[in-house]
Structure 1
Amino acid sequence: MSAFTLAACAEMIFRDLPVVERVRRIHDLGFAVEIWDWTTHDIAALAATGATFSSMTGYVTGSLTDDAGADELLATAERSIPVAAQLGIPRLNLHGTGLDGRGLPVVPVEVVTGAMWLKAGHTLGRIAALGERHGVVFCLENLNTAVDHPGTPFARAADTLALVAAVDHPNLRLMLDVYHAQIGEGNLVELITTCAPYIGEVQVADVPGRCEPGTGEINYPRVAQALRDVGYTGTVGLEAWASGDSEVALERFRRAFSLD
């Protein structure tokens, strides 16, 4: 039995099926479900599956780095909240800036200035207040810039932690993505220990390849133990491509996070 609630990203497994059927399969196998951009989905059809949804992208466009982008991010975050309520989603995911269909920043940032840091902190304070008003938690996700998301500001786990800790609000937490952290920073056990007070959810995939645990270099049973050691009992989401059969991938994920 896992010490955590396990979820799987419907965008990345059972990809030969329509998304609604993917959600049903994930649910039938005993996992909660994560989705990305809600604007691309039939929300009523997803709700009708009866699945438990763990998280979704909590904005559509915008950025943390400038006034116009911040206002846009807040406006689209507010639009996301009724969708989350329809699906029963408690956590809404954020990034430093809007990403396109390939995961690349719509407006790349090569140098993050002090003014951008101040704007990001102020904007996240507004996001936290929005979450408090509506009873949801926004989670700022770390990304890697070396492989998947070059040009994304505030991408490292150290950056997201600094921002979330500075705001220090229960409706703003970390979406700690272990795959991205391994590529960008490593030292995962120490990172989990440092981030523990601020983690809202954990996402995982192996390195290289971004497939399920057991296909790469990360010692995921040790990661699971580190999470238990810091008292984390929340959701761990598989945000990974299946290396082969999706059911096998989900079973490998379950085994990696099953602690005796």
Structure 2
Amino acid sequence: MSSNLNRRSAIKGMLAATAALGIPSGFSALAMPKNETKLQLGMLKGNINHSVARWCFDDLDVETLCIESKKIGITGIDLVGPKDWPILKKYDMVSTMCNGAEINLVDGFNDIQFHEILIKNYTEMIPLVAKAGYKNLICFSGSRRGKTDEEGWNNCVIGLQKLIPLAEKHNVTLVMELLNSKIDHKDYQCDRTHWGVELAKRLGSENFKLLYDIYHMQIDEGDVIRNIRENHQYIAHFHTAGVPGRNEIDETQELNYPAIMKAIAEVGFKGFVGQEFMPKNPNKLASLKQAITICDI
């Protein structure tokens, strides 16, 4: 996941437009019969639950993204807030990683000065997520700003412990994203699997887990498959992207995504794998379809 500013800048830099994607004008739900949807879903093996990050396809409106995603077997959209949930429900799509309670990526739970507003935001959002029938709500450690690991862990525990009972009551999981601090999010504290897992252990609740971003963790630590196998019980969600560059997950980059997906399936993971890459291909939906094919092991 990237900052909203970076995301907007990246999207503006894309050459693709809706017309270049081959989407007819006036596209609607009528253009996708229910039997066609079932046919597309039936073509997938069913070992991986597929979703896609909203911001990577921000040049499409949410309704069109739902329609096109369903055609290729995607059943969830990541990183959408309450205002878009009715559209997802219209197309029987899941909000697989809800957002909207966080301040930003740098001001997080590792800094006590932000606890008051974070606790207020999450106290309001957790019941909304549950009422909508969703499960995961994203959160962030924030930047180190000179704090040691121990200080970061302690501060996160202080803040999150005030929310865990509410999350448990509503069966909502607070999910902290692992982000690289080498390239994209310098100084971010939850930048290693170990750091996130240690926080999860200290909180000791099934309602706090991690978003394992494969792209970010390849950059900061590598050893992706072993880390997934050894720590899968602390992971609620995955994100993908090609390394280097955060583009397509095809043969142009270094990660072996079929092998990674196989490892995810083998540990019995039942959550979602979200495509969160920035396509170079002007036909971005073709790249998305290719990514689902690569990950459908």
Same fold (TM over 0.5): yes
Question: Once the two structures are aligned, what percentage of the paired residues are identical?
Answer: 24
Counterpart of 1:55 in structure 2 is 97
1:112 paired with 2:147, answer yes
Hey, what's the Cα distance between the residues in 1 that align with 2:99 and 2:167? Answer: 14
Output aligned runs, 1:137-156, within 5 Å: 137-156=173-192
1:72 paired with 2:72, answer no
> Aligned match of 1:22 in 43, 52, 65?
65
Contact 2:102 2:138 in 1 (8 A): no
Counterpart of 1:173 in structure 2 is 209
Larger Rg computed on CA atoms: 2
Runs of 4+ in 1 over 6 A off after TM superposition: none
Which is helix-richer, 1 or 2?
Answer: 2
Is the alpha carbon distance of 1:86 and 1:209 closer, same or farther for their aligned partners in structure 2, counting shifts above 3 Å? farther
Contact 2:88 2:94 in 1 (8 A): no
Hey, what's the Cα distance between the residues in 2 that align with 1:37 and 1:173? Answer: 19
1:221 paired with 2:258, answer yes
Count of aligned pairs:
247
Counterpart of 2:4 in structure 1 is none
1:54 counterpart letter in structure 2: T
Contact 2:130 2:171 in 1 (8 A): no
State the Cα distance separating 1:195 from its structure 2 match: 1.3
- Consecutive unaligned residues of structure 2, counting only runs of 5 or more, are 1-44
2:292 counterpart letter in structure 1: R
Say which SS state the counterpart of residue 36 (structure 1) adopts: strand
Counterpart of 1:33 in structure 2 is 76
Contact 1:12 1:240 in 2 (8 A): yes
Contact 2:179 2:191 in 1 (8 A): yes
- Consecutive unaligned residues of structure 1, counting only runs of 5 or more, are 98-107
Is the alpha carbon distance of 1:135 and 1:67 closer, same or farther for their aligned partners in structure 2, counting shifts above 3 Å? same
Say which SS state the counterpart of residue 192 (structure 1) adopts: helix
Output aligned runs, 1:178-217, within 5 Å: 178-214=214-250, 215-217=252-254
Hey, what's the Cα distance between the residues in 2 that align with 1:158 and 1:2? Answer: 30
Counterpart of 1:81 in structure 2 is 126
2:272 counterpart letter in structure 1: T
Contact 2:192 2:217 in 1 (8 A): yes
Say which SS state the counterpart of residue 123 (structure 2) adopts: helix
Q: Report the TM-score when normalising by structure 1.
A: 0.85
Contact 1:4 1:235 in 2 (8 A): yes
2:180 counterpart letter in structure 1: N
Hey, what's the Cα distance between the residues in 2 that align with 1:145 and 1:204? Answer: 17
Say which SS state the counterpart of residue 124 (structure 1) adopts: helix
